[in-house]
A and B are shown apart, each in its own frame.
Chain A
Amino acid sequence: MTLKLGVPSKGRLMEQCFDWFAARGVRLRRTGSDREYAGAVDGAPGVELVLLSAGEIPRELAAGRIHLGVTGSDLVRDKLADWQAQVADLAPMGFGHADLIIAVPACWADVDTLEDLDAVAHAFRRAHGHRLRIATKYHRLVREFLTREGVADYQLVDSQGATEGTVKNLTAEAIADITSSGETLRANHLKILSDGLIHQSQATLFAARAADWSGDGQAILRAFCDRLGLGAPEL
C-alpha cells in the first residue's frame, strides 16, 4: 500500500512545505505542467503526494482519505471537533505563523482586556437591543475561547473575508481573525485586546487516525517518521 501525504497545492505555503521536507531528505515536487495538481515524492518509499487546498486538508484528514497532511494548526482546531481524537500532531513546522486574535475599534479607549469587552458587550446589548457582534470565520475556536474566559452578551457573525472592514461597515462591533504583522488591523483602525490571543498557529504535520493503517501502513509510517527525525505517533 501507499500512504497519501496531503500538502497545500500552491503559493508560499507549498514552497515552504517542500523546503521543510527537503531539509529532512525527502524531496516533494510537482510533476506535469504548472497547472496540473500532480506530484511525486523522492526519498520516502511508499508515500504518495496529494496536492490540496490548505483549507480542505483538515476535512480530508478527518475522513481518513489522506494518511498525513500539512495545514495550519488553527484550521485543524477550528474545523475538527475533538481534534485530538481525529488527528495526531506529528510536528510543528516553523512556518506559516499567524495569531488568531480579538480586535476592537482603536477609538474604544476604554477597552483593552476581555473584562472590558464583556462589560461593554453588556452595556451595548442594553443600548442597541442586540448582542455585540464579533465577525469571524473561526467560529469554534472563538466561541470556546470566550466561553472559557466567561465573556457574555456577544454573537458571532460569519465573515469569510475582508473581516477587518466589517466594523467600519457597521456589520460587526469587533472581529476575531488571524494576523501576522498587525498591519491590516491598524489600517482599518482596529487594535488587539491585550489578553485576546486565542491561538498561535503554524503549519503542522498531522496524521489521520481514521485512515487505513493496515498491512504495511504502520511500517511505512515508522520509516517515514525516522527519515524526518520524528517519533512515530500512537494511532
Chain B
Amino acid sequence: MASKSDARATGARLLDAFRAEGAVEVDPDILQPAEALLDLYGEDIRARAYVTADPLRGEMMLRPDFTVPVVQAHMANGAEPARYCYLGEVFRKQDHRGPARTAEYFQAGYEVFDRAAPEQADAEVFALFARLLAPLNLRATIGDIGLLTAAVAGLDTLSTRKAALMRHIWRPQRFHKLMERYAGLTPVPATRAALLAGQAERDAPWIGLRSAQELQARLDRLREDAAARPIATQDVARLDALFALRCPADQAVEALRALDIPALTPAIARLQARLSALAARGIDLGAVGFDASHGRTTMEYYDGFVFTFSAAAPDLPPVASGGRYDALTRVLGQGKSIPAVGGVIRPGLVADLGGLDA
C-alpha cells in the first residue's frame, strides 16, 4: 500500500490540476460538530465516523468527508458561481479487516456550485476525473438518482405514499417493502387490520413524549391509506425494471424510453443533455456503464447524477466517486440553495495502481 507521503504527493498533483481549472483551495477543520452530520446521515454515521468530545463545543467528529463542511462554508459566505478544491485526510471506522480498509486516507476533491447549466457542470467534473485517471484504465459507472425520484413522483397514488417512498430511495429494502404494501402485494398485518376496525386494545396508560394527538393523526393517515386504491402492479413492475436497468451509457436513453414511464420524460431529457455534454468532452459513452440504481445504497446525499471510477479488483473501494447534491445545499443553506456537483479521488489508491501520468 502507498505510503502516506506517496498519497500526499499524488494528492498534491491532483490539487494542482483542480486549481488549473479555476478551483479555489479550501481547508476545512478536521474536527466537525457531530450534530450536523448526525442530523443529515442519521445514526448510521456513528458506526462509520469517530466521535469525540470537546469540553466547550460538545460532541465532535473527525471529518468523515469534506462535502458537508465545504457546502456549509459556501452557503455561509460563498460567491457564485464557485469552484472549490481540497486535499486532506478523512477518517472512517472499519468494522471488517480487508484490503484498502484503512481508517484514515487522503481525499482530493473538486466541487462546482453553478446555477447556469447543471448538465454541463456534471460533465465538467466527470470529464476532468476521467482525464486525470486515464492512465489507470478504470471502469467508470454512472447513474442518476433524479430518474428514480421522478418515477416515484409520477406514481398515480396518494402524496403521502410518494413521500414515504421518496424518503427511502436510499434504503432499497424498506423501499421495496413499502412498495409491496402500497400495491396490496403483502397482507395487512393482523394488528393493523384490528386497529383500523377499531378493535385494538386501548387500555394502556399513556406514557412518553409522543402525544395522543400524534397517534390520532397517524390513525387518520392509516385510514386514508387503507381507503386508497393500491398502486397498480404494472407500475410496480415498471419501477422494478427501472431499478434493475444496467447497460452501456450510449444505450441508456433508448432503454429508459422503452420502460414506458411517462413521468421520466424530463429526467431522460436531462440525462440526454448530460450524455451529449460528456461526448462533446471526448468521453467514449460505449465504455461507460450506466446503472440506474448506482449510488442508491452508498451515496445518500446525492440526488441527481452519480459516478464512480473503480479498479478491476472487486474488493477495492472506488478510486473516485461523486455526484450532484442540490438538496444538500438546501438542507445546509438555511433557506438558500444552489445546484452543486463534485467528487473525490483517493490519491492513495491512485498511487497503488501505478500513479498519474508523468
Binding site for B on A (CB under 8 A): 81-82, 85, 105-110, 112-113, 115-116, 118-120, 122-124, 127-128, 131, 139-140, 143-144, 146-156, 167-168, 170, 173, 189, 191, 194
What is the interface of chain A mostly: helix, strand, loop, or mixed? mixed
Shortest beta-carbon distance from B161 to chain A in Å: 11
Asked if B210 CB lies within 8 Å of chain A CBs, one says: yes
B185-216, CB under 8 A of A: which get 1 and which 0? 00001011001000011101111111000110
Asked if B44 CB lies within 8 Å of chain A CBs, one says: yes
Shortest beta-carbon distance from B235 to chain A in Å: 20
Q: Contact partner of B204 among A105, A110, A115, A151, CB < 8 A? A: A105
Q: Among B171-179, B304-312, B347-355, which stretch is in contact with chain A?
A: B171-179
Chain B interface size, as a band, is 35 or more
**Inter-subunit contact B210/A105 (CB<8 Å):** yes
Q: Contact partner of B42 among A109, A120, A131, CB < 8 A? A: A131
**Inter-subunit contact A154/B189 (CB<8 Å):** no
**Inter-subunit contact B215/A148 (CB<8 Å):** no
Write out the residue numbers on chain B whose beta carbons fall within 8 Å of the beta carbon of A148.
173
User: How many pairs of residues, A versus B, come closer than 8 Å at their CB atoms?
Assistant: 112
**Inter-subunit contact B168/A124 (CB<8 Å):** no
Most central of A118, A139, A154, A167 by chain B CB within 10 Å: A118
What is the interface of chain B mostly: helix, strand, loop, or mixed? helix
From known contacts A106-B204, A167-B208, A170-B208, infer whether A155 and B38 are also in contact, taking CB-CB under 8 Å: yes
Write out the residue numbers on chain A whose beta carbons fall within 8 Å of the beta carbon of B46.
139, 143, 156
**Inter-subunit contact A112/B210 (CB<8 Å):** no
Which residue of chain A has its CB nearest to the CB of B211? Answer: A127
Can you identify 5 A-B contacts, CB atoms within 8 angstroms? A109-B200, A113-B192, A115-B178, A143-B43, A173-B208
Which residue of chain B has its CB nearest to the CB of A151? Answer: B174
Most central of A109, A113, A139, A143 by chain B CB within 10 Å: A109
Which residue of chain A has its CB nearest to the CB of B192? Answer: A112
Q: Contact partner of B201 among A109, A140, A152, A168, CB < 8 A? A: A109
